Amino acid sequence: MLLSTTDLMSVVDWSRAQFAMTAIYHWLFVPLTLGLGFICAIMETIYYRSGNPFWKRTVKFWMRIFGINFAIGVATGIILEFEFGTNWSNYSHFVGDIFGAPLAIEGIMAFFMESTFIAVMFFGWNKVSKGFHLASTWLTAIGANLSALWILVANAWMQYPVGMTFNPETARNEMTSFWEVLFSPVAMNKFFHTVTSGYVLAAVVVIGISAWFLLKKREEVMARKSMVVAALFGGVSMLLLLWTGDGSAKIIAKVQPMKLASMEALYDGKSGAGLSVIGLLKNESQRSQEDEPFHFNLEVPKMLSWLSFGDGNAYVAGINDLIDGNPEQGILSTEEKMRRGRIAIEALADYRDARQSGDSTRIASTLQKFDPKTQEGKAFLNDYFKYFGYGYLTSPQDTVPNVPLIFYAFRVMVGLGCYFLLLFIVVLYLAKKERLGQYPWMNHLMLWSIPLVYLCSVSGWIVAEFGRQPWTIQDLLPTVAAVSRVDSTSVMVTFFIFVALFTTLLIAELMIMTRQIKIGPHDEQ
């Protein structure tokens, strides 16, 4: 059955909403696992070295929190794979090989590492040697982080597709270099930025829960010592996070210039572009092309050019340059990319027609265009196929993502990041002065930092994922071509089922977690 264009757009919208909702909910569970695993491992190492039972009691408490979060979050990511197969089948087929390998490795590794080492971590106290138990705790933490590596490699490939060629015979991309996919600069930065963001999140959560104990005047020694471990771990992670965040922005400047321009609401490109620290955007609909986009904007001069290209005078492309083109800077217009994209799609249609005609010379000649080993193929892939996805767009404006959302989400992430760094420093300073926990307002602030760190983390994903709209695979496949021809009502129904399911899980997590926090650490019988 053929769907009309409006129906297709409705499928796209509902499928996107569903994917965003499941990904955000899934991500609410993951980062705490990534970071708390290491915090437990550090605490257990202190226990191993000191032999002090206080640390055993403390680490067992935090492990319980880890276990609850892990149990509730586990398998929520599988839903995303269901959605790939049903709602995004063109996409799943198109990327096939690229996704298959990393996700298969992830599945096998996660299963073996998690089912063995987590079991030892929880059941093995007093049953296996102290050293073996400690090793299992570290391996659980490392295993969870390695699982994240494979998923993030797959995500990075969508943002920057490298190490593959398109095979028109199967209509799929085939991997030519696993290492190029794994070690692409986008993948490496994304991995380190994402996992360290999980460490910062876990550190803030540990500090927040500890602050609650201090407010209740319970378990004060455990709370203070946990805060110090978390602040040290969080502080070091925060420095790595700043470094990798800067690295991510530098790469985006090269490979996803529209995302960078949207993060900065930079409409007209310039040399020596300033970095907006904070600004208030004018309403898109009330603003004419020539208007300044801001009501007010506090800017550090030349900073954006310097951060993006390591040169304060470098040219940073704006949204209008990317739409209209800028020959001086060697930027093609979107119209031109759309034209080339349509030619690439026509080449695919020629190949199909040749196949249907059964004429082997025609088949061979149409195939040549897609062969990177021939001169003709190289030129076609580089000049036309590179813009394949643009052929599906109806207007150049389709390539502009939601600028205000990305602009503000980026500032929320970076602003809160700076606040957390300050928080870690203050915790360590107060601990040194032996005044940690003496100011109730500060304990309240730490407790309320827990929702803020989740907001910060989700904002990061909003920048990364909304920032690449309309692409499911950068420049190759927009959402409108990636989606299946399914009925939008069924996607809508499952959307609401997921809202109900995830909300129930979240409520269960919060209830079990708060109950266990209130019970506090157990004493050994």
Partner 1 sequence: MGTDHLLYRIYRFYRDGFRNMTVGRTLWALILLKLFILFAILKVFFFPDFLGRFDNETQRGEYVRDQLIERNAP
- Which residues of the shown chain bind ligand HEM in the complex (CB under 6 A)? 159, 190, 193-194, 197, 200-201, 241-242, 245-246, 248-249, 252, 413-414, 417, 420, 453, 456-457, 460-461, 463-464, 467
Spatial separation of the C-alpha atoms in residues 448 and 452, rounded to whole Å: 7
Which C-beta is closer to ligand HEM: that of 287 or that of 302? 302
345 binds, among ligand HEM, partner 1, none (CB under 5 to 8 A by kind): partner 1
Spatial separation of the C-alpha atoms in residues 46 and 65, rounded to whole Å: 19
Which C-beta is closer to ligand HEM: that of 417 or that of 521? 417
Spatial separation of the C-alpha atoms in residues 227 and 474, rounded to whole Å: 42
Tokens 């266990």 identify what position? 516
Q: Under the criterion CB under 8 A, does residue 93 sit at the interface with partner 1? A: yes
Q: Residue 396, Cα to own-chain centre: how many angstroms?
A: 26
Q: Which two tokens stand for residue 434?
A: 């032996």
Mutual angle of helices 130-159 and 185-215, in 10-degree steps = 130
Q: Under the criterion CB under 8 A, does residue 197 sit at the interface with partner 1? A: no
Residue nearest to ligand HEM (CB): 460
464 binds, among ligand HEM, partner 1, none (CB under 5 to 8 A by kind): ligand HEM
Which C-beta is closer to partner 1: that of 287 or that of 339? 339
Instruction: Give the largest CA-CA distance in the chain.
Output: 84
Instruction: Pick from 53, 85, 440, 451 the residue near partner 1 by CB under 8 A.
Output: 85
Tokens 């015979």 identify what position? 169
Question: CA 497 → CA 24, 30, 100, 123, 487, distances in Å?
Answer: 15, 21, 28, 35, 16
Kindly state the DSSP code that residue 176 receives in the 8-state scheme: S
Kindly state the DSSP code that residue 401 receives in the 8-state scheme: -
Q: Under the criterion CB under 8 A, does residue 9 sit at the interface with partner 1? A: no
- Pick the stretch among 101-109, 190-198, 399-407, 477-485 that binds partner 1 (CB under 8 A): 477-485
Q: Under the criterion CB under 8 A, does residue 92 sit at the interface with partner 1? A: yes
Q: Which two tokens stand for residue 56?
A: 């055993």
Q: Under the criterion CB under 8 A, does residue 112 sit at the interface with partner 1? A: no
Residue type, 294: F
Count of residues in contact with partner 1, rule CB under 8 A? 56
Tell me if 12 sits within 8 A of 112, measured CB to CB: no
Tell me if 264 sits within 8 A of 276, measured CB to CB: yes
Question: Least separation, in Å, of the C-beta of 450 and ligand HEM?
Answer: 12
Q: Which two tokens stand for residue 369?
A: 């265009």
Q: Which residues within the stretch 130-189 sit at the binding site for partner 1 (CB under 8 A)? A: 168-172
Residues facing 300 on adjacent strands: 275
Q: Which two tokens stand for residue 459?
A: 């904002």
- Pick the stretch among 191-199, 236-244, 343-351, 467-475 that binds partner 1 (CB under 8 A): 343-351
Question: Least separation, in Å, of the C-beta of 302 and partner 1?
Answer: 40
Tell me if 469 sits within 8 A of 402, measured CB to CB: yes
- Pick the stretch among 61-69, 208-216, 300-308, 416-424 that binds partner 1 (CB under 8 A): 61-69
Q: Under the criterion CB under 8 A, does residue 517 sit at the interface with partner 1? A: no
Q: Which two tokens stand for residue 71?
A: 């149990």
Q: Under the criterion CB under 8 A, does residue 354 sit at the interface with partner 1? A: no
Which positions lie near partner 1, rule CB under 8 A? Answer: 8, 64, 67-68, 71-72, 74-76, 78-79, 82-83, 85-87, 89-90, 92-94, 119, 122-124, 127, 168-172, 338, 342, 345-346, 348-349, 352, 391-394, 480-481, 484-486, 490, 493-494, 497, 501, 505, 508, 512, 516
